[in-house]
Amino acid sequence: MVQINLEHREITLKIVYYGPALSGKTTNLQAVHELMKKEARGRLMVLDTANDRTLFFDLMPVFFKSRSGFTVKVKLFTVPGQVMHNSTRRIVLQGADGVAFIADSQLDQTKNNNDSWRDLLENMKINGLDPERIPVVIQFNKRDLEKVRSDEELDAVSKRGGEPVYKASAIRGEGVLETLEGLLRLSWRNLDNLYKLGEKLDLEEDEFINNLLHKGSGGES
Ligand SMILES: Nc1nc2c(ncn2[C@@H]2O[C@H](COP(=O)(O)OP(=O)(O)OP(=O)(O)O)[C@@H](O)[C@H]2O)c(=O)[nH]1
Ligand SMILES: [Mg+2]
């Protein structure tokens, strides 16, 4: 849940990257870290096991100071995808303001994606997060590989479900910022509806997005 500290003029949002093991959640965060301007990001904390598998979580804060003088922070977390880490996933998911579900496009990963999706819905419920109210976007990652689900198939998934669907190759840095921007916009709108954030902070959606992702300042777009 967003933390709003009017006295210290600071707000903190929480975004969680969720999904099956090896779908590329950590790689997404690493790519965001690469692609973002240095001024807007903090240290990327990657907590790996020996085999590059997330054991607890990864975390990267991004932030800016608004024209109105607010420090706006967004903490980006990843969960560990391996089935055995369910209790950790549940804890990391607590208080999320938005969720990026990173699915693996490979044909043989469809079951794992579906299992993880169900696991997400269950853990949201346990954490009191209503999937109807907390924004969720879906990313189909690893589009660079062969033996992946076709674009047509993903378009069909996109039409069926309520969540926006993005295609990505996190390892190439493609589709990563688009996914994050889509999620940040939905999360901002949701919090604005709930708490009148824009009015309280004198900050609009575009200033929020442009400062975090550095659009219109010669940065990545
Ligand atoms: N070809 C390809 N490989 C990718 C892509 N994204 C991630 N990978 C690879 O997939 C493997 C797993 O990536 P991670 O980012 O560690 O996956 P994860 O979702 O964090 O996995 P857990 O921490 O176990 O949940 C690594 O070898 C990555 O290099 C991609 O877009 N294309
Ligand atoms: Mg990971």
Domain residues of the chain, as ranges? Answer: 3-213
Residue 169 is given by DSSP the state B
How many angstroms is it from 54 CA to the middle of ligand 2? 4
Mean pLDDT over the full length of the chain: 93
Q: Which ligand is nearest to the CA of 32?
A: 1
Confidence of residue 218 (pLDDT cuts 50, 70, 90): very low
Q: What distance in Å separates the CA atoms of residue 10 and residue 29, rounded to the nearest whole number? A: 23
Contact 143, 167 (CB under 8 A): yes
Q: Ligand 1 pocket by C-beta < 6 Å: which residues?
A: 19, 21-27, 52-54, 78, 80-82, 141-142, 144-145, 169-171
Residue whose CA is at the smallest distance from ligand 1 atom 6: 24
| For residue 117, pLDDT beyond 70 | yes
Classify residue 53 as left (phi > 0), alpha (psi -120 to 50) or beta.
beta
Residue type, 69: G
pTM of the model: 0.95
- Six-digit token pair at 138? 């879906």
Helices H, strands E: what count in the chain?
Answer: 7, 8
Q: To test ligand 1's pocket by mutation, which of 27, 35, 53, 141 has the most ligand atoms within 8 angstroms of CB?
A: 27
Q: Which ligand is nearest to the CA of 46?
A: 2
Residue whose CA is at the smallest distance from ligand 1 atom 25: 81
Residue type, 126: I
Position 6 scores a pLDDT of 86
Residue type, 63: F
| For residue 217, pLDDT beyond 50 | no
How many angstroms is it from 184 CA to the middle of ligand 2? 21
pLDDT tens digit sequence for 49-59: 667 787 888 99
| For residue 101, pLDDT beyond 60 | yes
Query: Which atom of ligand 1 is found nearest the CA of 141?
Result: 31
Q: Among 1.10.260.40, 3.40.1360.10, 3.30.1020.10, 3.40.50.300, what is the CATH number of 3-213?
A: 3.40.50.300
**What average pLDDT does range 81-110 have in this prediction?**
96
